[in-house]
Amino acid sequence: MVLTVAQLAQRIGAELVGDGAVEINTVAPMGTAGKSEVTFVADNKHMAALESSRAGAVIVAERVEGLSRPQLIVKNVDTALIEALNIFAPKLKPPPEGIDPTAKVGQDAKIARGVSVGPGAVIGDGVEIGEYCVIASGCQIHENSKLGKNCRLDSNVVVYHNCTIGNNVIIQANSTIGSTGFGYSFINGAHRLIPHNGGVVIEDFVEIGANCCIDRAKFGNTIIGAGTKIDNLVQIAHNVVIGKCCLIVGQVGIAGSCRLGDRVVLGGQVGLADNIEIGDGVMVGGQSGVGRDVPAGQRLLGSPATEITEAAKIYGLTRRLPKLAELVRQLRKRIEKLEVAKDDKK
């Protein structure tokens, strides 16, 4: 795919300033972009580097005076960048409509029109798959689970029985939805598994990374709210309820029955203890451990997590502990001197 800057401007609805004849074949970040590549300025702090970039053109939010290359001026650089990336995306064959002959579809399964079921996929009895879903090779969807429209399950995803997945959901390769949670009662000297009669509900526009685990509920449902995005290798335990538009970064672990509000952000490798409530908009920094309820809007860091400015202060003081300990030692000596002086006076 090659477009002139003028053509690209038209495609992404940009105002063109400069030479529209320059040919562009891809998008690249400022540091590596060459003369056939369009770059972008996501925020003003990167504006200074723009002149030294060798990019063939640049997407900006405001006209840059004196810039020696074509500018594509847009209202929202993020939106324009997504459009440009889609334009220059590598061309892949669309997944073939229909059910691959090596796939297996159970009794009473309902596969809507436009669905693609890849090689070796297994669709259990009573499963429903909505229009235009793409179920990639090696997926296993078990009895009575339901998918809405336009979902994409990548290769080797496993969905256990009785799970409910909304519309426009993406689940990446090797993830597991609806496994039995880690709930045991210690009876007569052995851990006995508590049956998990509940399911998993994944709402619209949820996106789940690769190799994630979302356990089914003991009662009711484990719920992932609409628009929430989950990175790779994330563990979500039984009966967790996550609100809308949260961001859950890689390797986070959320223990049983936690309740998260909307727009919560959990950094990489964060752990939440079981049965806590995290309010709307809470942000937790990477590797933090949260063991208590957190009111809406707080920003936390550390294990155990504290409010972020307090955490920063504590970290700073912890690193200065050698100096503090040395200071205390010196103060003790000075006190000893004072005490000796006092005693001498007696």
List, by residue number, the catalytic residues.
238
Contact residue for its own copies among 155, 276, 280, 298 (CB under 8 A): 155
Sign (positive/negative) of CA torsion 54, 60, 63, 64? negative
Minimum gap (Å) between residue 155 Cβ and its own copies: 4
Among 41, 60, 88, 147, binds its own copies (CB under 8 A): 88
Nearest to 78 by CA among 65, 61, 103, 63: 61
Any contact of residue 250 with its own copies (CB under 8 A)? yes
Q: Which is nearer to its own copies, 23 or 262 (CB)?
A: 262
Q: Which residues are 241's β-sheet partners?
A: 223, 259
Dihedral sign (CA 238, 241, 244, 246): negative
334 touching its own copies, by CB under 8 A: yes
Residue 17 or 158 with smaller CB distance to its own copies: 158
Residue 269 interacting with its own copies (CB under 8 A)? yes
Stretches 14-22, 47-55, 62-70, 88-96: which one binds its own copies (CB under 8 A)?
88-96
x-or-dash string of contact with its own copies, 225-244, rule CB under 8 A:
--x-x-xxx-x-x-------
With 0-12 CB in 10 A as exposed, 13-18 as middle and 19+ as buried, what is 255?
Answer: buried
78 binds its own copies (CB under 8 A): yes
Rg (CA), the chain: 28
Q: How far is the CB of 66 from its own copies (least distance, A)?
A: 27
Cβ neighbours, 10 Å, residue 24: 26
Q: Which of 213, 241, 264, 300 binds its own copies (CB under 8 A)?
A: 213
Beta bridge partner(s), residue 283? 265, 299
Site for its own copies in 11-40 (CB under 8 A): 26-29, 32
Please identify, among the stretches 14-22, 46-54, 58-66, 299-307, the one whose residues bind its own copies according to the rule CB under 8 A.
299-307
- HEC string of 280-345 equals CCCEECCCCEECCCECCCCEEECCCCEEHHHHHHHHHHHHCHHHHHHHHHHHHHHHHHHHHHHHHH
